[in-house]
A and B are shown apart, each in its own frame.
Chain A
Amino acid sequence: MTDQQTPAAAPAGEPILLTKKDFVSDVDPRWCPGCGDYSILAQAQKAMPDFGYRREDIVFISGIGCSGRFPYYMNTYGFHSIHGRAPTLATGLKASRPELMVWVITGDGDALSIGGNHILHSMRKNVDIKVVMFNNRIYGLTKGQVSPTSDFGQKTKTTPGGSVNYPIHPLVVALAAEASFVARSVDTFPDHLQETISRAGHHKGSTFVEVLQNCNIFNDGAHREFTDKEVRDDRMIFLRHGEPMIFGKDRDRGIRLNGVRPEVVRLGDGITEEDLLVHDETSEDPTIHFMLGRIYWPEFPVPVGVIRNVSRTTHDALLQGQVDEAIRREGRGDLRTALGGGETWTVGG
């Protein structure tokens, strides 16, 4: 399955000139026709050459779900692990091989149900892994059961009477876990998606990207109400760092704070851009980021783009730093000394 035709990596020092094609493996994707996963794959393959990593230095690790098949289609190193646990493998790999670029591909069930614990802890440790969560608000691979992001009241195979569970807000989970990069995009917005993946790839630290993805078989149109071409400008807000939070086809509406609550306002009638919140993705204080992670259609426009982007020393760098520091302080470990540690005595021969 290794693509033997592709050229070996460029020698050290030479620029790495790769194109999207170099990242296409020889395995044909096997998602349902029309599945949103195809678009995510295409945009990821397009974003890859820009990172300056050789193919062999990039690793995709996935859990189980339709999304989990992603690594087979990327001509990089790949590990299709088990349900919910991809972040754990990624954490160990990154800790022992800090020079690699490590991606985690996961689904809404994989990341937030069975793997919730691992998402939480990989994010809070600021492990330098790029998590891309395909949110189709359903269990796709197992054929249509309710997921942690399914709507309240949603009828699925396991909730014929409607779901009695309140959905989780993935970005709020990532923010609460102190992810240093948090963003959202949509499978049907190719440019936006490519840009978001690209920014995620350039971030150093725990990265969480939610991609609203359509499962046209088991939850068709889950996001359509606000992502459709005709309505998206009015029902979504495209966040840009440093810019006021304006949205609407006519760019006539915005979000401002009323006390501690966000509200949608119409510009004019004494309300100007000055009154609106200005997006600051780098703000250490996460209050507004939490708000953006939580507001949703129909009460609010759905935010997309980079919500949070702060810099913290990464887990792998801290681990490596301790090793380097110990070597600097104590010298490289001597096995003989370690074995002979503690009180010893000698028995003559």
Chain B
Amino acid sequence: MSTTDPTTEHEVEIQELDRVTVRFAGDSGDGMQVTGSQFSQSTAVFGNDLSTLPDYPAEIRAPAGSLTGVSGFQISFSSSPIYTPGDAPDVLVAMNPAALKRNIGDLVAGGAVIVNGDAFTPNNLAKAGYANNPLTDGSLKGYNVHEIPITTLNARALEGLDMTPKQVDLTKNFFALGVMFWLFERSMEPTLEWLEEKYAKRPVFIEANKRALMAGYAFGETTEIFHTHYRVAPAKLAPGTYRNITGNEATALGFLTASQLAERNLFYSSYPITPASEILQQLAEYKNFGVKTLQAEDEIAAIGAAIGASYGGGLGLTGTSGPGMALKSEMVGLAVITEIPLVIVNVQRAGPSTGMPTKTEQADLFQAVFGRNGDAPVPVVAPASPGECFAYAIEAWRLAIRHMTPVVYLSDAFLATGSEPWRIPELDELPDLRAPDHTELEGWHPYVRDPETLARPWVVPGTPGLEHRIGGLEKLDVLGTVSYDPDNHHRMSLLRAEKIARIANDIPPLEVFGPPEGELLILGWGSSFGAIRSAVERLQARGKSVAHAHLRHLNPFPSNTGDVVRAYRQVLVPEVNMGQLLFLIRGTYLVDAMGFNLVRGKPFQISEIQMKAEQLLGDL
């Protein structure tokens, strides 16, 4: 559908689209992450549903113009609910030849490419490994290419400002952003406000970026290189107030909220590691909530300090990624045997070892469930989308406090850095996490247990008359003295296992999206939610008997999980690992589930899951 836009002078077609996916790509020094997140912000405020996926190199500054130095940011936005950042971009913004080369293959056939023509110098072409200039050799014939001399036009717009040529050059990403704002009818307001705040102390930078942005916008409006601009109507989201949020932001906010709900001070200690560092950085900003943060000397110290804080009655929290999780495992065992509430965040990344630090993976599930010496069961929760990180950060603390146990919270790089609109909850929608310290002398022993949950009492130092000793040595049931008694150890092992197993009674059942029984169930966990749900929606729209269930509690599983997986002829478990949930499901429920495993450091695409399902349904 197209109309003519009365606001512009030349004839421009307006094309209404349901969903668009845009990828910004450039050198890691080109500011693509900022560009992408500003575009997301405007898009969020405009009211589209959206999902983002940043993709940046591990090197802070790989050689300029090189293929390894390409940084990207993908956003998909839509007038109806969406769950993923999109499979293939419809529009690619490439700031240099390397960015073009790395990304062009992902673009949909006939997709639009906007390139900075000035960057296609012989030198840059050589660095990107182009023998010929792709802008002139006809190799981009299948796409709709818009070549704009961004560097030149931008420099012209900034003429007269007191800035070095290098500083001027650094603003060209905002020119490109301006073009995109025009192309998709976004408001520049949020970005202009952001600039005012960010460069409050450097007015010339505000002016420069503003000019760059406006020049880009004006370029779109007045030149004739675009014959269309695109309209993606606001989505119909549930009523409420929204903000755009990344998984790490939602995680940090969730933990802050948990501490307020529990009326206990949050103590977060961590050792910097991609992609978890932002949680430490963000929580350090909440001092006026009584939050204390500690950058520890290593991950062992970080969890040790968190255990110390929880022992003292605070909410002791620690966060890391896989390699740090490996270091923490002995301490998690200590928290298991001392039965201390604690939350351990693992923002998973591609492993093993250092692996691919900035890339996503779901391969630490075994580590979370099993990664300790001895029989040391620990509840595991995993949010499914960036916004959901908030609720599951609170859920992790609810379980930790109520059941007196360490809890592992599994996020991943995709959730951590990806973003989506998030409805800000009302405070009265949130659970009450208050649980008073135990101070009663009568009938108390360190390991007396709540008959329902089997949790032991939380007695903190400073409580008169209840002085006692705990530690990593096995303790006598109830009395809590050191015990090497064989039957006692057996009993305590059973109690520790039963305590965690009973959590299944305290969590919601596994929900099924689609028919309650039938041909195919796709069972997922964590960040693959979006791709699975989208694929299942498409299949259902075509009348297929396909359902989706998504686990947020990975240990214990919701109590109806066995019934759910047995209700379908086939069960498919897609994971960005070599089959870890698959192993648990097969082992726990003795069902012949099948894995679908792609470990490339990136999330599943919708089409991949759809195709796999079609294969199983005999459609292909």
Contact = CB atoms under 8 A, between A and B. Distances in A.
Do A and B come from the same complex? yes
A8 B265 CA distance: 27
A32 interface: no
A261 interface: no
A89 interface: yes
Interface in A110-130: 117-118, 120-121
Interface in A334-349: 335-336, 338-349
Given A59-B461, A91-B304, A100-B462, A78 B45 contact: no
Given A72-B482, A96-B309, A56 B463 contact: yes
A335 B316 CA distance: 19
B468 A2 contact: yes
Contacts of B312: 92-93, 96-97, 100
A89 B241 contact: no
B238 interface: yes
Contacts of B467: 2-3, 55-56, 75-78
Nearest to B298: A117
Given A88-B300, A95-B292, A82 B330 contact: yes
A9 to B, nearest CB: 4
Contact of A92 (B239, B267, B460, B466): B267
A327 interface: yes
Interface stretch (A148-156, A192-200, A283-291, A318-326): A318-326
B301 A88 contact: yes
B290 A323 contact: yes
Scoring A71, A92, A93, A349 by chain B CB atoms within 10 A of each residue's CB, the highest score goes to A92
A204 interface: no
A4 B303 CA distance: 33
A340 B243 CA distance: 7
Interface string A271-298: 0000000000000000000000000000
Interface string B227-243: 00000000011111111
A317 B366 CA distance: 40
Chain A, interface residues (CB within 8 Å), range: 35 or more
B436 interface: no
B532 interface: no
Contact of A326 (B193, B287, B304, B330): B287
B42 to A, nearest CB: 9
A261 B610 CA distance: 78
A1 B480 contact: yes
B434 to A, nearest CB: 15
Interface stretch (B115-123, B163-171, B471-479, B508-516): B471-479
A149 to B, nearest CB: 22
A80 B286 CA distance: 32
A288 B466 CA distance: 45
A250 B291 CA distance: 59
Contacts of B311: 79, 89, 92-93
Interface string B87-105: 0000000000000000000
Interface in B423-450: 424-425, 427, 441, 444-446
Nearest to B284: A322
Nearest to A340: B424
Contacts of B256: 335, 338
Interface in B329-347: 330-331, 334, 338
A142 B334 CA distance: 20
A340 to B, nearest CB: 5
A88 B305 contact: yes
Given A88-B308, A92-B294, A80 B267 contact: no
Interface residues of B, number: 78
B269 A92 contact: yes
A117 B297 CA distance: 7
A209 interface: no
Given A81-B304, A93-B309, A323-B288, A340 B469 contact: no
A332 B260 CA distance: 12
B114 interface: no
B313 interface: yes
A50 interface: no
Scoring A55, A120, A319, A347 by chain B CB atoms within 10 A of each residue's CB, the highest score goes to A347
A323 B464 contact: no
Interface in B10-43: 41
A255 interface: no
Contacts of B260: 335
Contacts of B465: 2, 4, 6, 8-9, 56
A80 B473 contact: yes
A90 B308 contact: yes
Contact of B331 (A85, A91, A319): A85
A330 interface: yes
Contacts of B313: 96-97
B301 A341 contact: no
A228 interface: no
A78 B475 CA distance: 14
A85 B287 contact: no
B44 to A, nearest CB: 7
A15 interface: no
B599 to A, nearest CB: 33
Scoring B265, B472, B482 by chain A CB atoms within 10 A of each residue's CB, the highest score goes to B472
Interface string A42-79: 00000000000011110101101000000110011111
A114 to B, nearest CB: 10
A330 B5 CA distance: 47
A9 B236 CA distance: 61
Nearest to A339: B424
B470 A333 contact: no
Contact of B469 (A25, A64, A100): A25
B466 A2 contact: yes
Closest 9 CB pairs of A and B: A88-B304, A80-B471, A92-B308, A92-B305, A349-B239, A333-B289, A326-B287, A78-B469, A93-B308
21 contacts: A27-B481, A55-B467, A75-B467, A76-B467, A79-B469, A85-B331, A89-B304, A91-B301, A91-B304, A91-B308, A92-B269, A96-B292, A117-B298, A117-B301, A121-B297, A323-B291, A333-B289, A338-B253, A343-B193, A343-B243, A344-B241
Interface of A: 1-4, 6, 8-9, 25, 27, 54-57, 59, 61-62, 64, 71-72, 75-82, 85, 87-97, 99-100, 117-118, 120-121, 319-320, 322-323, 325-327, 329-333, 335-336, 338-349
